[in-house]
Homo-oligomer: A and B are copies of this chain.
Amino acid sequence: MSGRLTVVGLGPGAARQMTPEAAEAVAAADILFGYAPYLARLPERPGQERRASDNREEIARASAALEAAVAGAKVAMVSGGDPGVFAMAAAVCEAIEHGPAEWRALDVEIVPGVTAMLAVAARCGAPLGHDFCAISLSDNLKPWPLVERRLALAAEAGFVIALYNPISKARPWQLGRAFELLREKLPGSVPVVFGRAAGREDERIVLATLAEADPARADMATCVLIGTAETRIVPRAGRSPLVYAPRSAPAP
């Protein structure tokens, strides 16, 4: 069996933020699988096949990629950001666990990438500079009460919160509800960063306060960072302010 599957993180979007390891894995593949907008970032190569899919049906996409690899192809499954953060690596592992034995004999490699919260944080300072958490606001695969519970405990713990999948056509109210809930737990002055398409041409980084954060500022390509009462904003004449989480913390 000469086939193999590499699950590749393309990073936040700009080619200069994709690792050489990821670029090599993409270049070496016979077949690329992935969500169509991620495949669209990559140059066409003679002899390389592409199988684009939409952003649902992750298990079906993982299974198709595993079948192609077992049949002998060098397959790359591409994800934006890092494949292990709310992306394809977990779906591939899940498919492998529940699939035929030959999938568990396959050469599978995961190539990490710069995930969205790191790219957004870098564009505004160091808002993740102390303990933080990452929560997907999608309730497609987990019950919404669990999301609310995690948001409340994260606020109680004093974690900076990075929200992935904040909003979509099918999930229009979740981000607004998350802000409402957090306003009950945190001061209204807590900084909120809407980071869209960080490092790309259409980048838009918007700074707000929790009290005034407008969910309409977010779309599917946005990662939302919510600071804590300790988060600092440093005004700079003629430049955007720096937002950072102090490294030191007072006693609880």
- Chain A contact residues, CB within 8 Å of chain B: 9, 11-12, 14-21, 24, 58, 82-86, 89-94, 96-97, 104-105, 108, 110-115, 118-119, 121-123, 125-136, 141-143, 145-146, 149-150, 153-154, 156-159, 232, 234-239, 242, 244-252
Contact = CB atoms under 8 A, between A and B. Distances in A.
Contacts of A85: 118, 128
4 nearest A-B residue pairs (beta carbon): A90-B129, A93-B244, A133-B133, A89-B126
17 contacts: A19-B114, A82-B118, A84-B126, A89-B121, A89-B125, A90-B246, A93-B232, A94-B232, A104-B235, A111-B122, A112-B114, A112-B119, A128-B134, A130-B136, A141-B249, A143-B249, A146-B251
A131 B94 CA distance: 16
Contact of A19 (B16, B108, B123, B249): B16
Given A130-B90, A156-B153, A84 B118 contact: yes
Contacts of A14: 21
Contacts of A94: 232, 244, 246-247
A20 B16 contact: yes
Given A94-B244, A143-B249, A149-B157, 13 more contacts: A9-B118, A17-B112, A82-B122, A85-B128, A89-B122, A89-B129, A92-B126, A93-B242, A97-B234, A111-B122, A131-B134, A133-B157, A153-B154
